[in-house]
Amino acid sequence: MLRFAPSPNGYLHIGHALSALANRQMADALDLPLTLRLEDIDRSRARPQFEAAIVDDMSWLGIGWTPPMRRQSEHMAAYQAAMDGLRARNLVYPSFSTRREIASTLRDPGVARDPDGAPLFPGDEHIIGIEETQRRRRTDAPAAWRLSMTAAASTCEDLAVTVTDAAGVPRSTLSTDPLAWGDVVLARKDTPTSYHLSVVVDDAVQSISHVVRGADLLAATAVHKVLQSLLGLPTPLYHHHRLILGADGRKLSKSNGAASLKALRENGVSAADVLQKISAFTAGPAR
């Protein structure tokens, strides 16, 4: 089983169409079903109109998928159960610093950063101080929950994942480096889960055998591998397709002017035009 897993936080653009097509092509090559998963845990950003547009975009492109569609927001109990297991094993800890406090303390451009460019979390005591950390703990202040990455990675015997080519044929082994991420957030103050936790739980619950997604998520595979190992979940095979870059050389986003599929459609661009443009990107090096 494969999955296309967009977040209904905005309208999809041509980069998402590429991911959907790469999934469809591998599913066809392997004769496996492709399902649609809405990664809608961020309730402040998910909107029904974006969800409806995803379904419209898929049918406009002619990219079929097998129902039912899974909405992550309907499965919070499953993520909470996984978190409870990690808490019981002391592999996660509450973290009280706010995003703003972290950003304002770790402003120095020379500070150690994770593969996404965010500062590595040094511990609350280095952000808000020991006394304030203790005060927040005593008063049960709202906390995010972070994975103790060094402890977690040390329990993981095998940090390698198998990567396939675009047709799903295993081609190589990728050794992952979870320590590069530091103590990632697994549950937020206002949401009992995070992208990393939900994605590994769902990939297992949905029996996803092949994960096809953009190269921007390649490094995150390290976190997913550790979580699969901790939670006793199987590790799928991975394929990370090339990204379509914007004129500024960065991955497509609304902020660098990527037009939504909806806007292209409304402006008379045909699905065939879009498919032709993206099909050059679906083949490519296996990563």
Shortest Å, Cβ 121 to ligand GLU: 22
Shortest Å, Cβ 196 to ligand GLU: 9
Hey, what are 32's tokens?
């496996």
Q: Is 241 in the site for ligand GLU (CB under 6 A)?
A: no
**What is the DSSP code (8-state) at residue 93?**
E
CA 149 to chain centroid: 18
Hey, what are 22's tokens?
């790469």
Hey, what are 93's tokens?
């800890």
For residues 95 and 146, give the distance between their C-alpha atoms in angstroms, rounded to a whole number.
Answer: 7
Hey, what are 258's tokens?
């990527």
Size of the residue set binding ligand GLU (CB under 6 A):
7
Shortest Å, Cβ 5 to ligand GLU: 4
Interaction residues for ligand GLU, span 5-34 (CB under 6 A): 5-7
Q: Is 282 in the site for ligand GLU (CB under 6 A)?
A: no
Interaction residues for ligand GLU, span 101-160 (CB under 6 A): none
Shortest Å, Cβ 213 to ligand GLU: 4
∠ CA(67), CA(165), CA(167), 5° rounding? 45
The residue from 46, 144, 149, 199 that contacts ligand GLU (CB under 6 A) is: 199
First-to-last C-alpha distance (Å) of the chain: 19
Q: Which residue is nearest to ligand GLU (CB)?
A: 213
For residues 27 and 33, give the distance between their C-alpha atoms in angstroms, rounded to a whole number.
Answer: 6
The residue from 15, 22, 30, 39 that contacts ligand GLU (CB under 6 A) is: 39
Q: Is 72 in the site for ligand GLU (CB under 6 A)?
A: no
Shortest Å, Cβ 7 to ligand GLU: 5
∠ CA(76), CA(80), CA(84), 5° rounding? 175
Residues that bind ligand GLU (CB under 6 A): 5-7, 39, 199, 213, 217
